Structure 1
């Protein structure tokens, strides 16, 4: 078996999550968060589309964790992301964390915006 070392660059894997928080790259963050090639930082939620649009040339897909359950993205958010050509997938936050970690470990160009569970 061949083992490869993973280089995350400025992206960090999701280490864990719980009610109201995420642990990303060893750092505990309370509330909504964005992580990806621009690093990890707090996010103001769906009203902050500029933070999501800033990723448009850096990633192939943005995963949006909508909390404990799957929910549709607000129409204005989805329209703004589609207008700039940013691929987006909405899913529950736990599923988004798992999917992001797998694709990140494969070296894919991904980012993640999360609403806490």
Structure 2
């Protein structure tokens, strides 16, 4: 699948911080799982809440999946659904996913992250 051209993400929203059970995005505190895109953040229902992730189809090329304090394989059906929608999932621990999202976002790439709390 060809990569899309970078978008203008000059107003993009990075992950400001995180800690045990919380994330801070754009100065707002989120408790529990969170979905962060270039447009902002929202509470997310976790690995079984697939619809908001699939709704990113056409908007993002890569979705960083933060699997908590340690890396763990995401459910195979989740990976298959994302790939079928044209979204490349990258699973890693949550801290790495948040950092990777911020760096990749700053490059103007079409990315999002779905983060499970530490």
TM-score higher than 0.5? yes
Structure 2 residue aligned with 1:19? 20
Q: Which has the larger radius of gyration?
A: 1
Deviation at 1:39, TM superposition (A): 2.6
User: Could you list the per-position Cα deviations for residues 45-79 of structure 1 after superposition, in whole angstroms to 9, with x for gaps in the alignment?
Assistant: 01111110000100110101000001101111111
Aligned residue pairs: how many? 110
In 1, distance between residues paired with 2:17 and 2:45? 20
Structure 1 residue aligned with 2:93? 92
Q: What TM-score, normalized to structure 1?
A: 0.89
Structure 2 spans left out of the alignment, 5+ residues? 1-8
Deviation at 1:7, TM superposition (A): 1.6
Structure 2 residue aligned with 1:102? 103
Superposed structure 1 runs of 4+ greater than 6 Å apart: none
Structure 1 spans left out of the alignment, 5+ residues? 1-5
Structure 2 residue aligned with 1:52? 53
In 1, distance between residues paired with 2:80 and 2:102? 26
Tell me if the contact between 2:68 and 2:115 (Cα under 8 Å) persists in the aligned partners. Answer: yes
Tell me if the contact between 1:13 and 1:101 (Cα under 8 Å) persists in the aligned partners. Answer: yes
- Map 1:19-38 to 2 at 5 A: 19-38=20-39
Tell me if the contact between 2:69 and 2:95 (Cα under 8 Å) persists in the aligned partners. Answer: yes
